[in-house]
Amino acid sequence: MRLLSVRLIVSLILGITLVSAGFSYYDVLGEKRALRNDLERRAEMLGESLVGNVERSWNAGSDIVTNSSVPNNAPNNVPNKELQRLVQRFGNREHLLGVVIYDRQGALVAMTPELTKTLTVSPPPVMQAITQGHEESSFARLGSVPVHILALPIRREDEVVGGLAVVHDVGYIRAQIVLVWRRTFFRVLVQVFLIVLITLLIVRWSIAGPIAQAALWMRALRTGKISFRQELPDLDIFRPLAREVATMAESLSQARNAAENEARLREAGESMWTADRLSVQLRTRLEDSHLFVVSNREPYIHQRDGKTLNVVVPPSGLVTALESVLNACDGTWIAHGSGNADAEVVDAHNRLRVPPEDPRYSLRRVWLTKEEEEGYYYGFANEGLWPLCHIAHTRPLFRAADWQHYQDVNRKFMAAVLEEIEKVVKPVVLVQDYHFALLPRLIKEMRPDARVAIFWHIPWPNPEAFGICPWQRQLVDGLLGADLIGFHIQSHCNNFLETVDRVVESRVDREHFSVLRQDHRTMVRPFPISVAFTDDDAAGNHNQGFDYLERSALMRSLDVEATFMGIGVDRVDYTKGILERFLAIERFLDKYPSYQGKFTFVQIGAPSRTHIKRYHNLLAEVEAEADRINWRFRSGKWKPIVFLKRQHSHQEIEPYYRAADLCLVTSLHDGMNLVAKEFLATRRDERGVLILSQFTGAARELRDALLVNPYDIDQTADAIRAALEMEPEDKQLRMQRMRKVIKEHNIYRWAGNLITELCEVRLDVPEDVQEKVSASASGA
Ligand code: G6P
């Protein structure tokens, strides 16, 4: 670095000096030329007025002046005396060395005394002026004296009778030039110094500064102190470079982590699932095939706001989970293009590569009309199936028109899937969720060689509850087209099998958890979904202490003062039990008043499906309830509930998870609930308590949480107190055990198991059908 600066300074000095010296040289030449021109002009004026006088005296001429300085060879008819007086009169001008007059033969006629020592012979310009009859001007030397000689012919009636020379001493021009050079030298010196200084300062501020900042930032990245996706510092002109470096650093760090993990696992003989292990597994399992995922919600939504194009990641557990799987295996994700700018960024086949900052897989967008979205998504899926499957006491609405749209959209997605898998032999298709109950059968009817699984992300209720759906038979039949149906937990599988038993003609094999219907076997299995949590030791953050500063900064940013803090993160959905949670907080403060002024609960609530009246009203109710409770208790800078009503990114949520004393998950009914697992994954400090509804899928695995019945307000209030007063060792032990569970049962294991199971299914495809699809897939 130092060598670089020396080189930079030397090159700057040399460069600027050369340029300045070049310009100065031209300036000096100009100055010299101006001085000479000026002198020539003055000599000319003097010469011309002198020659007139001389000619007049010469023409009148009689007596000869005797002058010791004038040699005696002057012609007798020339008026030497008069001329001598004349030249002497003119002889005392500035820088004038003298004036001399010669006759036609070059004999001296008159001369100012100062010239007698230096001018011993007639100078050549005078003789040239006499012979050629016009003025001559030249710079010359008289001995050591630099002079300018202007010679003019002297005429009598057009005949040249002699010559006159005006001799100037030009030594002053040289002195002047030396002075200019000296001034220039100092100017160049100061100029070089200032330019070098300013350049160095600019380099320091606009280049060295950002580089140093970038280096610090990259070190923080390398050591895992900040996240790769964290906002880049303002690196000015290096921003594009920094973005590339971040991506590269991320890949390198992932590779290093993977290698370290592999080594650790080999040593420990463990079988933990990582992204890399999943990719290897998928490559082996899929052989030449490809993975296709179908879901309603897309992982990236492009939204235009005036001239700005924003990319939004929706608040969906499904999206969070599947993103890691697609990243690991470069598959294709087929989903509804719901953003207002989605169509702007796709290619001719409605595809684009994502994630936008580091493309790793393809997203195929399917377009729906407003009516289709209204009927299929808002209507049948979210006003019908969602409340049907969640026991949350919101009545499902079944409209025939919605059902029609649901069928149409399932067919539309079938067409998109068939297009995507057209050239793929034995494709593996993972259909997601309650939006596509009919899709498995639709795909299998067209492509029996495809392996199709559907994962149901929400609970499956008991057959009595499901039985109120007028189209339960069609839904169950559509699902049974799949080779594998996955639920989060065993009890959802059991409920499903019971429903199948009651609704359609089939043979349910409870021993192997499968259904045989019309010669097609469907396996039904639990696959508890999870988060992308691997080995935090690899990140070097194990047991990192709880950061009080981070907590107080966070509270300050919310303009609240509190000693204890709780966190809740949900889509604002009636299944999440947010109102019950607020009531429990109120009860807690009533029951344990010493916590008033001390405990604040931060609820991050992403508005969701607000087009549906029930959701729209709920959002207002949640806000009103928070206001009511705050109004009751608030004092000074403290209030019990902070409701942050907007979607937050994962990066924004993490600091809240890390800073919280407890996390409240009080769903009235939930398939899994990934918030609980995300909270645990974030707590590298092994502190913090999870209060978890017993009606979530997660409660089956996370036995060390404080399990509550969210309808039991008192129980939840007591759990809050228990969490805040729990012994640190107890907290740590619980946290360690739960983190171990989700580390071992992470999203990679979920995907690995699901796909392995699906690939192991024996497909009984008739030979002729197989040949046909193989031929069309290979383009024959
Ligand atoms: C649940 C569902 C997902 C859905 C998510 C968000 O987790 O199982 O399928 O994507 O909620 O809901 P939204 O309707 O906004 O996609």
pLDDT tens digits, one per residue of 246-277: 777 777 777 777 776 666 665 555 578 888 88
Ligand 1 atom at shortest distance from the alpha carbon of 295:
9
pLDDT tens digits, one per residue of 464-514: 999 999 999 999 999 999 999 999 999 999 999 999 999 999 999 999 999
Q: What does the pLDDT average to over 747-776?
A: 84
The whole-number pLDDT of residue 221 equals 67
Q: Distance from CA of residue 277 to its chain's centroid?
A: 29
Selected residue with higher pLDDT from 617 and 32? 617
Q: Is 316 in the pocket of ligand 1 (CB under 6 A)?
A: yes
The whole-number pLDDT of residue 64 equals 35
Nearest to 630 by CA among 663, 668, 602: 602
| Best residue among 316, 488, 570 to mutate for probing ligand 1, ranked by most atoms within 8 Å of CB | 316
User: Is the preceding omega at residue 356 within 30 degrees of 0, hence cis?
Assistant: no
| Best residue among 388, 409, 433 to mutate for probing ligand 1, ranked by most atoms within 8 Å of CB | 433
pLDDT tens digits, one per residue of 406-455: 999 999 999 999 999 999 988 999 999 999 999 999 999 999 999 999 99
Q: What does the pLDDT average to over 384-403?
A: 98
pLDDT tens digits, one per residue of 689-701: 999 999 999 999 9
Q: Can you state the percent helix, strand and coil of the chain, rounding each to 5?
A: 50, 15, 30
Ligand 1 atom at shortest distance from the alpha carbon of 435:
9
Q: What residue's CA is closest to ligand 1, atom 6? A: 316
Residue 92's pLDDT band (cuts 50, 70, 90) = confident
Return d(Cα 379, Cα 390) in angstroms, integer.
Answer: 16
Nearest to 296 by CA among 126, 434, 394, 178: 434
Tokens 């002297």 correspond to 154
The whole-number pLDDT of residue 62 equals 45
**Angle (nearest 5°) at CA 522 between 674 and 471:** 75
The whole-number pLDDT of residue 86 equals 78
Buried b (16+ CB within 10 A) or exposed e, 743-766: bebbbbbbbbbbbebbbebeeebe
Residue 69 has pLDDT above 50, yes or no: no
Residue 544 has pLDDT above 60, yes or no: no
Distance 350 CA to ligand 1 centre (A): 23
Of the ranges 96-100, 103-107, 545-549, 646-650, the best mean pLDDT one? 646-650
Cβ(275)–Cβ(328) under 8 Å?
A: yes
Q: Is 317 in the pocket of ligand 1 (CB under 6 A)?
A: yes
pTM assigned to the model:
0.69
Distance 549 CA to ligand 1 centre (A): 35
Within 553-677, strands assigned E span 564-571, 599-606, 641-644, 662-665
Return d(Cα 273, Cα 745) in angstroms, integer.
Answer: 8
**Angle (nearest 5°) at CA 105 between 103 and 109:** 30
Least confident of 61-65, 130-134, 478-482, 553-557: 61-65
The whole-number pLDDT of residue 77 equals 46
By the 10 Å C-beta count (0-12 exposed, 13-18 middle, 19+ buried), 329 is classed as buried
| Assigned token pair, 778 | 């290979």
Return d(Cα 112, Cα 33) in angstroms, integer.
Answer: 28
Q: Is 318 in the pocket of ligand 1 (CB under 6 A)?
A: yes
CB-facing half-sphere around the CA of 262: CA atoms within 13 A: 11
| Assigned token pair, 150 | 């202007």
Rg (CA), the chain: 49
Q: Report the largest interatomic distance among the alpha carbons of the chain, rounded to a whole angstrom.
A: 157
Distance 437 CA to ligand 1 centre (A): 15
Distance 607 CA to ligand 1 centre (A): 12
Helix or strand (DSSP H, E) at 415: helix 400-421
Residue 336 has pLDDT above 50, yes or no: yes
Q: What residue's CA is closest to ligand 1, atom 12? A: 316
